[in-house]
Amino acid sequence: MNRLNKLFQDKNKALLSIYFTAGYPNLDSTLDIAEAIEKAGADFMEIGFPYSDPLADGPVIQHSSHEALQNGMNLKVLFQQLKDLRKRVSIPVLLMGYVNPVLQYGVANFCNSCAEVGVDGVIVPDLPMYEYENLYKDNFIQNNLSNIFLVTPQTSDERIRKIDELSNGFIYLLSSSSTTGKNLTVSNEADAYFARIRDMQLKNPTMIGFGISDVKSFNKAAEYTRGAIVGSAFVKFLDTENAMERIPEFIRSIRP
């Protein structure tokens, strides 16, 4: 059981995960931000590794990825930084990014490096489920890594059941099919989508991401799932004055 599995076993609801981009706003800010997120009370975090063509991301995270790459961030640098991760951070940590840098690094090497620094799970939205199952699943299992799949409102029940079968952490529900940074729509359509997933009684817990930016959207997500993931709103916050000192204030603005 990795830290992520234990968290979901021990805490039933209103979990909060924070996403940020490694190497943004500064190349060497990754561990400082991670430590501050834990101290501010988040339950787990997702560290994004930047990519030059982040198609699923809105302008805020696209900008952070561009700046991080300009600062010199890549997977080799990130794993070097994360060597001291578990000296400073005890909550679950996931890495999130696109498949191209992972393939360039080598999937087996990537999974080994994750295990070496104490990463608990990985979210690679454009890694095809077929390829994961038939080519890479053993690499993840051998390194005790949870591979997190994404579900959208258009995902069929059949595919969701397959995702549930292959998952060993949580299932990431996109609040909509749009890019990151769009506000969560509190509507009958969204309610029906969240209720449909809840009523499937999946074996894996679910979390909602994309568009969570305040107490209202967090509470809406927590009605149907175990909690929510905040990304664009936090990345945008990091660009404000004295952001590092004010991270606890940001966390309280989402989950008082």
Q: Which residues fall within 8 angstroms of residue 233, CB to CB, at 6 or more apart? A: 212, 213, 214, 254
| Mean pLDDT over each residue of the chain, to the nearest integer | 93
7 assigned to some structural domain: no
Structure tokens at 34: 């991670």
For residue 226, what pLDDT is reported? Answer: 97
- Mean pLDDT calculated for residue range 48-69: 90
The answer on pLDDT for 184 being more than 60 is no
Mapped onto helix, strand or coil, the DSSP state of residue 213 is: coil
The answer on pLDDT for 183 being more than 60 is no
115 assigned to some structural domain: yes
Residues recognised as catalytic:
46, 57
Count of domains observed in the chain: 1
For residue 185, what pLDDT is reported? Answer: 53
Question: Which domain, by its residues, includes 57?
Answer: 14-250
149 assigned to some structural domain: yes
Q: What is the CATH number of the domain that holds 115?
A: 3.20.20.70
For residue 182, what pLDDT is reported? Answer: 47
Q: How far is CA 12 from CA 91, 147, 225, 244, in A?
A: 16, 21, 10, 29
Query: Cis before residue 248, ω within 30 degrees of 0?
Result: no
The answer on pLDDT for 45 being more than 60 is yes
> What is the C-alpha separation between 246 and 240, in angstroms, rounded?
9
100 assigned to some structural domain: yes
244 assigned to some structural domain: yes
- Write the pLDDT tens digit of every residue in 67-82: 999 999 999 999 999 9
5 assigned to some structural domain: no
- Write the pLDDT tens digit of every residue in 85-121: 999 999 999 999 999 999 999 999 999 999 999 999 9
Q: How far is CA 191 from CA 181, 200, 239, in A?
A: 19, 14, 33
